[in-house]
Structure 1
Amino acid sequence: MTVEFLWGGRARPTRGPKPALTLEGIADAGIAVADAEGLAAVSMQRVAADLGYTKMSLYRYLPGKAELVAVMVERAIGEPPALTASGWRPALEQWSRLLLGRYVAHPWTIEATVGRRPLGPYEMGWMECALARIADLPLGGAERLDTIAVLAGHGRMLAQQAAAMMGEADMGTAIAAVLREHGERFPQLTTALSGAGEGGPDQAFEYGLARILDGVEVLVRSRSRAG
């Protein structure tokens, strides 16, 4: 698969009848399948059947499944957000929550966005809008990229956990069941779990987000003072 495919480099037919399908419509049909049944259920044959066409009809619009999934990711992640929060830290908080929402809405995108692959304009735009809000911080280019990579990774991990139906409360319930029988072997875990409800359920994302940004803020302040 080539990058040009995601960036408007697809050849458009100049002869014959007007296309009955659109690439966007095909991608949306693929998204519907992936949302309901997972990425493994997506195939050219399945998407074509859901649209009421033959598999061969889809090849007029895209070369194969890899390209289909790439366009599906772009459609699912969506256009980069217009961050309205003031200040770099609130802006990154807003960005992280919005990205988490995309992953939670379409859990298959976590699987579809690993490994070497072309990146489309929407994904690049998400990175650009976050980097723009920290461009003036005393951080190197690699550090700025690593900051948004860590934030995105944190959201991906929590979204993956949510997709597996193992939220923070579920994990606590599973641990408590074991501790009822074997609590004497894990005194620190027992103590920690007894106060786990203090921050409310499913606070792992917000807690981790705050701690990541605390670390960035400490670094920024130390360099600002040194400068």
Structure 2
Amino acid sequence: MNARRPGPAPSLTVDGIAAAGIALADRGGLDAVTMRSVAAALGTSAPALYRYVASREELVGHMVDGVTAELRHPPPSGDGTGDLVAVAEQQLALHRAHRWLAAASAVPVPLGPRVLDHLEWGIRVLAPLGAPDAAVMEAIALANGAAALFAAGGPPAGAELFRHLDVDRHPGLAALLATAAPAPPSESSDDLFRRVLTGMLAAALDPGRG
């Protein structure tokens, strides 16, 4: 009688494979994630992984979905912009913890269920603002993009940010900066992120825009 073949190891699930990929990327960046390296981390062969994920690109998509599960979405408070900024602060922390996330998010694969959950939440909290549908999607993308930018280091602070400004070439920007309120001297990077994102979202979600 033939011996019964053992089933797959418990870690050989889509979530388990994604978790192994996340651990590798956290240590060595996205380039460290290959089907071979993930298989080695799980003590199996690359061909065995293809029963669960069809390609490295699909694996990366599952990794993005896996870290997105770390976000906590509060019930709508009635302040849609404030709610979005609060979760964007979590996204900032997420991008800082997983430096590969911005590059992975650009991989062209279908969005996972947790990413779709995030989009659904954003649409729900922003709905009372009455902004156009396109503006709502733009605002959600803007929050994630700002988190990725600031996690990567963000723009230089203070006057250094505008050291290439030429009054003759950029008269409108020069005039705006001349009348703008200066940032508080003790403002932290996180405070700047919150202030800049709040202003950008207010403009993006203005129902009268365009």
What's the TM-score once normalised by structure 2's chain length?
0.74
Match of 2:171 in 1: none
Sequence identity (%): 34
The alpha-carbon deviation at position 94 of structure 1 amounts to 1.4
The alpha-carbon deviation at position 204 of structure 1 amounts to 3.0
Q: Stretches of 4+ moved more than 4 A in 1?
A: none
- Two-structure CA RMSD over aligned residues (Å): 3.0
Is it true that 1:208 corresponds to 2:200 in the alignment?
A: no
Q: Secondary structure at the match of 2:152?
A: helix
Equivalent of 1:47, from 23, 38, 41? 38
Is it true that 1:60 corresponds to 2:47 in the alignment?
A: no
Q: Secondary structure at the match of 1:32?
A: helix
- Unaligned residue ranges in structure 1 (runs of 5+): 1-14, 162-166, 179-187, 189-194
Is it true that 1:151 corresponds to 2:143 in the alignment?
A: yes
The alpha-carbon deviation at position 38 of structure 1 amounts to 0.2
Q: What is the rounded CA distance, in whole Å, between the counterparts of 1:130 and 1:148 in structure 2?
A: 6
Q: What is the rounded CA distance, in whole Å, between the counterparts of 1:73 and 1:149 in structure 2?
A: 15
Aligned length: 184
The alpha-carbon deviation at position 156 of structure 1 amounts to 1.6
Contact 1:81 1:129 in 2 (8 A): no
Match of 1:18 in 2: 7
Alignment-mate amino acid for residue 24 of structure 2: V
Task: Give a deviation string over 1:53-102, Cα, whole Å, max 9, x none.
Answer: 22222223222211211111111111663314622232112121122222
What's the TM-score once normalised by structure 1's chain length?
0.69
Contact 1:28 1:75 in 2 (8 A): yes
Equivalent of 1:119, from 111, 123, 126? 111
1:22-171 correspondence runs (5 A)? 22-78=13-69, 81-84=72-75, 86-87=77-78, 88-114=80-106, 116-161=108-153, 171=156
Alignment-mate amino acid for residue 53 of structure 1: T
